[in-house]
Structure 1
Amino acid sequence: IGAAVQDAIVRVGEISFDKKARRFTIMLNRFRWETAGEKGPYERVRSALSFEGVLGVKSRRVRADIDEALASLLSIGFIPEEEPPGGVVRLLLAGGGEIAVDVECLDVVLIDMGPTWSTPRRPDHEQSG
């Protein structure tokens, strides 16, 4: 899932944590790495990334006060607790932002929500330095 959502564009106002349901959800526009050739065509798709069994969420350097702020999701990692199956899911954002999702176990779903659309560029981390 981490590879599938790398370089997804996230609107900060579309990141939510439902404490009662213990669900953390991010709506995103993800680059479709699974269909991208070296020279295109390139596509993005509207997707939902959802984590269940969430115990808590912390963020750092994320502008939660500006719903329209955009962020690029660089990577997702998992840091297991000493006692499985719990741990912390770390979502790293461009510009140094980070979201830490404390989970009782790793229960994550990625769902594409609609049709794809073309995009002119493939994300390239080599060019950005």
Structure 2
Amino acid sequence: MGEDARFEDAGGAPVALRALEAADVPVISALVQDAIFPITEMRWDRSKRRFALLLNRYRWEQHQAGRSPERVQSVLAIEDALKVASQGIDRSDADTVLSLLAVEWAPADDGMGCLTFVLAGDGAIAVDVEALELTLRDVTQPYAAVSGKAPEHRL
């Protein structure tokens, strides 16, 4: 029996992942936890049925004590998007910066379902899909986190 893959196996290479099954979603969710993005970097192309976010993703796969925190710009995209709805965010305020906490999958009948982006501050973006197809792809070189700190979560 083979060993599970580890973050170290990537050797710092850009992330390029696709979730086609429910079990794949938590992997992508873990990688985008604490990503931030301006509200202006959300796009829904209704005619192509594609919803995408341009994120400034914290590189959890490179997180180690004593190592400088890094971020990278990544595209998180959903194919076969049928409907997009949001709650708890003011889409008219172009200066809003959102913080992504998790991605959740709720299956429905015949392979359909809903992907929900859970945001800090009780906000959420829900995307109804015909089939699960979620991709995460790094699109820039990593850069030092402006804050100089790793994200923290207090209980």
Q: TM-score normalized by structure 1? A: 0.93
2:48 aligned counterpart, secondary structure: coil
Cα RMSD, aligned residues only: 1.0
**Residues in 1 aligned to 2:86 and 2:33: alpha-carbon distance in whole angstroms:** 19
Contact 1:14 1:67 in 2 (8 A): no
Residue number in structure 2 paired with 1:89: 115
Between the aligned partners of 2:34 and 2:105, the Cα distance in structure 1 is 18
Structure 2 gap segments, 5+ residues each: 1-27
User: Quick check: 1:41 aligned with 2:65?
Assistant: no
Runs of 4+ in 1 over 6 A off after TM superposition: none
- On the 8 A contact 1:29/1:46 being kept in 2, the answer is yes
* Equivalence for 2:151: 123
Counterpart of 2:149 in structure 1: which amino acid?
R
Deviations along 1:28-79, whole A, 9 cap, x unmatched? 1000000111332210001111000001001001121012210100111001
1:39–1:56 distance in 2 versus 1, CA, 3 Å:
same
**Paired residue secondary structure (1:122):** coil
Q: CA deviation at 1:101?
A: 0.3
Taking the TM superposition and a 5 Å limit, the aligned residue runs for 1:1-129 are: 1-81=28-108, 83-119=109-145, 120-126=148-154, 129=155
Query: Radius of gyration: which is bigger?
Result: 2
In structure 1, C-alpha distance between the alignment counterparts of 2:94 and 2:52, rounded to whole Å = 15
Bigger shift: residues 101-110 or 35-44: 35-44
Residue ranges of structure 1 left out of the alignment (5+ in a row)? none
How many residues are paired up?
126
The structure carrying a bigger helix percent of its residues is: 2
Higher percent of residues as strand = 1
Q: Secondary structure at the match of 2:121?
A: helix
What's the TM-score, normalizing by structure 2? 0.78
